[in-house]
Structure 1
């Protein structure tokens, strides 16, 4: 039956029409009866209110009864709707101020300390450093290795941590971070963080409804957003390694800041220099170079010990030195905030691209499905409120 496929607003409007016809018959049967006249007045107001609100709701999506003026509002203004949706994502869910404030609240140094407190974390870092050191040694010429090391260690012992030298270390770190960012696990961690952030922002029914709509039309797609952030991070790390780029200039400024910090904190620098020099002196490099096969395991252990000593010293410095903690947090904040801002700027274009591929009917259906309960109650309230207002007006007319 057609009746079974009607929603409650359609049934309410049909009931109002039936009641109106009954009231009209009642008025014809009893023309001078006040009750019949009042009943007809209220039924008429309910029917008019229901029809008016049906027209208003339908006009949002299509042309009711073919009426062409100021109807089919969503299809006619789809471009404005698409742009507004993009702005909503950028300003409400991922607004610049909110994102920067979120990043600013992160205690990067505290999180790094918490991670380094675990022995397995320090072992992981030490192993990574040892692997990098072994790769560097294998790439050197055995006849000149001792001279290279002597020059490097002499500079280090002299405390010549110039901005240029620090910049070379940072560039090497950026190259390694780029390798990490290209791994699939990097996107998975970003996606998990975005899901948690969005869940924390959905604190009201309207926000939940809009988020559900955005997810249903694939506008709020955390997997795609994570991939985008990953791409922007890789692009940023690539630009850091390019000469004369804005990012390279920022890296140079960071190197100068670190160099200035080391110059001001002479004791901390001496502690690091001492740990590195003492550890390096224990390396059996000559035997390794002349008998690489037999001495590889020995050197690997020595490199691991060297890296472990360096990690332990850096961990102690970071734990005890509050100014170093502030420097680390500041550097991490600058990098994180810049990456977040670059990704945020692209959300509007993503929303536009996704919604732009949808037909008018698809957009209408998706919007209506998310707001259907409210739209049905708007239509039903037209009949209910109309009848109530009709009753009040009729009562007032009786006393005039």
Structure 2
């Protein structure tokens, strides 16, 4: 049962008690007790009816009376404008939104949320890339690659320019380039696949070079006694190879200097041979382009952390690049703070630019309400409290009636009234 029904029931009960007390006082017995009951019930009825009229007048015209009634429908435009203005200028003002954003570090929270959900984000990125690539037109890609070879590349291709660019790059960053190459070699040599490859190669050599029965028998005896164990030997070779590659990281290493000199000589002779020309022509052969496109659209497993997803080769390449950038940003606190500040600035700018939309949205929404809908909208928000006013009106009215009765019968009539009559 809602409060409106409760208020109506109380009004009905007070009305019945009023009729009962009226009949009791004027037709059965008239004494101080029935007078007390009648006064209290009469005041409660007046309070209840008055509050019913007041509350009803907010929404409609009670008893058809139009004088200062139906306040909400009558002031509909003012209510809409006042509500929109309050939300736009006070509740969600530019200053309030800006202060909230700055105070609550929204950008930092966004970045932390992204970092904590990076695996889900990675999965979504792979799905989006796969979906986009699956819709790509392979024939159109082939045409673009051919256009690149026959058009732009031929137009800008020049041996002197390429030689100059490569020479300048190597002259300025040659040591870094060599370090990167040797780091990659170290990474490759450390892999178990290399040790297996060395073992297979040594095993193959053993079979090819030990053709005689005596040699095979002797080698078997040595292996049995761990004197010559191919598995251990392959590990030794791998360790030795890794040690040699690591020494290349030393800028004073003789082999490193020889490699650097060879690269410089190759770059100096680059213009005099047809390596670049042959390479360019080879790349843009139709069969090579077809092979490249086929490889791009081959599907394979993409592994990140403990997750695994299927994607195209080109998806994997793009994902690895994005993932690498993402990881670097996450680990770079200064860069992360810079991004957070940028996000914060963008959010504030968007609110600054689109702030008027808040008021417009509220106005448009409320203007779609007719009188009944607007009444219901407001009643849903404050109707219960307004109905309590009616209930309180009955209680307070009865209490005030009781006070008036006591004052009139026990103070005014016996003491004050005689004094007043003497004066006048």
Report the TM-score, using the length of structure 1 for normalisation.
0.55
Match of 1:290 in 2: 285
| Aligned: 1:59 with 2:57 | yes
Contact between 1:74 and 1:81, CA under 8 Å: does it hold in 2? yes
Q: Provide the C-alpha distance between the structure 2 equivalents of 1:373 and 1:336, rounded to a whole number of angstroms.
A: 39
Pair 1:112–1:18, CA change in 2 (3 A)? closer
Match of 1:27 in 2: 25
Give the superposition deviation at 1:331. Answer: 1.8
| Aligned: 1:141 with 2:148 | yes
Pick from 68, 71, 85: which aligns with 1:70?
Answer: 68
Give the superposition deviation at 1:125. Answer: 8.2
Q: In structure 2, the residue corresponding to 1:358 is in which secondary structure?
A: coil
Pick from 352, 368, 373: which aligns with 1:357?
Answer: 368
1:119-147 Cα offsets, whole Å, 9 max, x none, are 54675688799999x96992753133374
Give the superposition deviation at 1:350. Answer: 2.3
Match of 2:401 in 1: 390
Q: Provide the C-alpha distance between the structure 2 equivalents of 1:136 and 1:345, rounded to a whole number of angstroms.
A: 49
Number of residue pairs aligned between Structure 1 and Structure 2: 268
Pair 1:318–1:67, CA change in 2 (3 A)? same
Higher Cα radius of gyration: 2
Contact between 2:142 and 2:293, CA under 8 Å: does it hold in 1? no
Pair 1:10–1:137, CA change in 2 (3 A)? same
Give the superposition deviation at 1:310. Answer: 3.0
Match of 1:191 in 2: none
1:163-202 Cα offsets, whole Å, 9 max, x none, are xxxxxxxxxxxxxxxxxxxxxxxxxxxxxxxxxxxxxxxx
The answer for unaligned runs of 5 or more in structure 2 is 171-278, 299-312, 412-424
Give the superposition deviation at 1:329. Answer: 1.2
Structure-to-structure mapping, 1:134-173, within 5 angstroms: 138=144, 141-143=148-150, 144-145=152-153, 147=156
Q: Provide the C-alpha distance between the structure 2 equivalents of 1:127 and 1:157, rounded to a whole number of angstroms.
A: 35
Match of 1:105 in 2: 106
Q: Provide the C-alpha distance between the structure 2 equivalents of 1:394 and 1:370, rounded to a whole number of angstroms.
A: 38
Q: Provide the C-alpha distance between the structure 1 equivalents of 2:63 and 2:386, rounded to a whole number of angstroms.
A: 19
Q: Provide the C-alpha distance between the structure 1 equivalents of 2:280 and 2:347, rounded to a whole number of angstroms.
A: 39
Match of 1:81 in 2: 79
Give the superposition deviation at 1:48. Answer: 0.8
Structure-to-structure mapping, 1:1-400, within 5 angstroms: 7-29=5-27, 33-87=31-85, 89-90=87-88, 96=94, 99-100=97-98, 101-102=100-101, 104-107=105-108, 108-116=110-118, 120=123, 123=126, 138=144, 141-143=148-150, 144-145=152-153, 147=156, 287-291=282-286, 292-298=289-295, 306-400=317-411
Q: In structure 2, the residue corresponding to 1:399 is in which secondary structure?
A: helix
Give the superposition deviation at 1:52. Answer: 0.8
Q: Tell me how large the CA RMSD over aligned residues is.
A: 4.2
Pair 1:288–1:361, CA change in 2 (3 A)? same
Match of 1:218 in 2: none
Contact between 1:50 and 1:382, CA under 8 Å: does it hold in 2? yes
Report the TM-score, using the length of structure 2 for normalisation.
0.52
Q: Provide the C-alpha distance between the structure 2 equivalents of 1:19 and 1:395, rounded to a whole number of angstroms.
A: 20
1:313-332 Cα offsets, whole Å, 9 max, x none, are 42342132211101111222
Contact between 1:42 and 1:390, CA under 8 Å: does it hold in 2? yes
Q: Provide the C-alpha distance between the structure 1 equivalents of 2:92 and 2:125, rounded to a whole number of angstroms.
A: 34
Give the superposition deviation at 1:396. Answer: 3.0
The answer for unaligned runs of 5 or more in structure 1 is 1-5, 159-283
1:260-314 Cα offsets, whole Å, 9 max, x none, are xxxxxxxxxxxxxxxxxxxxxxxx9765532222221335677556535533442
Give the superposition deviation at 1:106. Answer: 3.5
